């Protein structure tokens, strides 16, 4: 089995070592300008940018979870509103029935049915009337019981709606806080990157790839892929096909396609295309989907990264995964071990 040894199926990026001697007869390369005292190295800038985007990724997960909760609470409130409408209609009908009974008694002169029976001289009429009286009394009792129960239901619906509104508002606050954090982290990272010259930006990408290659190589050297040879299920094949077809599309936080994705937007939509609904966020995917051992990993499984489960990718086989990396980058293929793996979960266990 061919094992991916570097991100993007590359074997690494060659570059001249700093301070390498020039070829014989070649003019000496100009000396690199000395860095200003206290200036950050490009590697330090890369790590700072990477950390900011990771923090933005964690905040994106919080935003997506809050958004899902807002949607769920909104749906519950709509369902309660429908129950309230039905309950009010039921009360109206019950009161109409009670009013009809009261009008019938009024038309009879207001004399209770029991009194009429007591004055009856016909024993048969008395007995027949007594049976109907008991039926009428039970019907009246049932009517009052149902009316009382329906009114109690409406009170409970009002309490439930109030609780759901409180949860809805709390999640809206969480969503707004997460949005502000995301935008601030991305803005700071972009400002750092925009200060770089064109050559430095190119070198920054090179450093990113080198870091991924180093991590992937170290991961493979542990023998992590030695026994990994699981075959994809039919659903897994469809999920992989969807995810890889999105390569080249940009990362946009909170996006679920079709033109852009964030990391968990890509994985959740890929499995939706395969006929499975899974949680929207990487943290919820970790929490709710069955975990599998790394040696049992198969294409279509999701790899959760970092201790805070702030990133997720889809394993596609041969030591590779496909993912939406971060703002400023596109959906791409990389080494499955190019970031610290927290767990592997299976949507179609």
Q: What is the set of active-site residues? A: 263, 311, 323
CA–CA separation, 70 and 292 (whole Å): 31
Nearest of 221, 324, 220, 204 to residue 270 by alpha carbon: 324
- E strands present in 197-301: 291-292
CA–CA separation, 10 and 7 (whole Å): 6
Burial of 30 (0-12, 13-18, 19+ CB in 10 A): exposed
| DSSP annotation string for 66-92 | HHHHHHHHHHHHHHHHHHHHHHHHHHH
Backbone torsions φ then ψ of 247, nearest 5 degrees = -55, 135
Residue with tokens 């090179």: 206
Backbone torsions φ then ψ of 219, nearest 5 degrees = -65, -45
Total number of residues shown for the chain: 349
CA–CA separation, 314 and 276 (whole Å): 14
> What 3-state class would DSSP assign to 214?
helix
Residue with tokens 């991590």: 215
The alpha carbons of the chain give a radius of gyration, in whole angstroms, of: 34
Residue with tokens 């970790």: 286
| Residue 275 near residue 238, CB atoms below 8 Å | yes
CA–CA separation, 106 and 250 (whole Å): 77
Pairing of strands 332-335, 320-323: antiparallel
Burial of 294 (0-12, 13-18, 19+ CB in 10 A): middle
Backbone torsions φ then ψ of 45, nearest 5 degrees = -65, -40
């Amino acid at each position: 089995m061919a094992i991916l040894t570097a991100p993007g199926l590359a074997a690494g990026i060659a570059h001249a070592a700093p301070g390498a001697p020039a070829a014989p007869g070649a003019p000496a390369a100009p000396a690199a300008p000395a860095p200003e005292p206290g200036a950050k190295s490009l590697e330090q800038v890369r790590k700072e940018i990477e950390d900011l985007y990771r923090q933005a990724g964690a905040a994106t997960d919080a935003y997506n979870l809050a958004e899902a909760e807002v949607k769920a609470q909104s749906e519950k409130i709509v369902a309660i509103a429908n129950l309230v409408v039905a309950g009010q209609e039921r009360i109206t009908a019950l009161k109409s029935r009670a009013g009809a009974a009261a009008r019938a008694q009024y038309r009879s002169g207001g004399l209770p049915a029991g009194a009429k029976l007591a004055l009856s001289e016909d024993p048969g009429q008395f007995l027949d009337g007594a049976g109907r009286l008991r039926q009428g009394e039970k019907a009246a009792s049932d009517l009052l019981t149902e009316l009382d129960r329906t009114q109690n239901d409406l009170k409970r619906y009002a309490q439930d709606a109030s609780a759901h509104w409180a949860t809805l508002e709390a999640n809206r606050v969480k969503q707004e806080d997460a949005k502000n954090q995301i935008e601030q982290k991305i803005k700071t990272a972009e400002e750092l990157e925009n200060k770089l010259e064109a050559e430095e930006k190119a070198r920054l990408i090179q450093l990113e790839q080198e870091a991924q290659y180093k991590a992937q190589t170290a991961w493979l050297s542990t023998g992590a892929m030695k026994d990994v040879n699981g075959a994809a299920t039919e659903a897994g094949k469809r999920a992989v096909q969807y995810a890889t077809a999105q390569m080249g599309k940009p990362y946009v936080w909170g996006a679920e396609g079709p033109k852009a994705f964030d990391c968990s937007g890509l994985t959740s939509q890929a499995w939706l295309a395969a006929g499975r609904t899974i949680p929207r966020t990487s943290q919820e995917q970790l929490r709710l989907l069955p975990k599998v051992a790394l040696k049992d990993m198969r294409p279509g499984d999701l790899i959760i990264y970092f201790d805070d489960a702030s990133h997720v990718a889809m394993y596609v086989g041969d030591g590779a995964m496909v993912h939406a990396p971060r703002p400023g980058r596109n959906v791409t293929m990389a080494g499955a071990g190019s970031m610290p793996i927290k767990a592997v979960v299976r949507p179609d266990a």
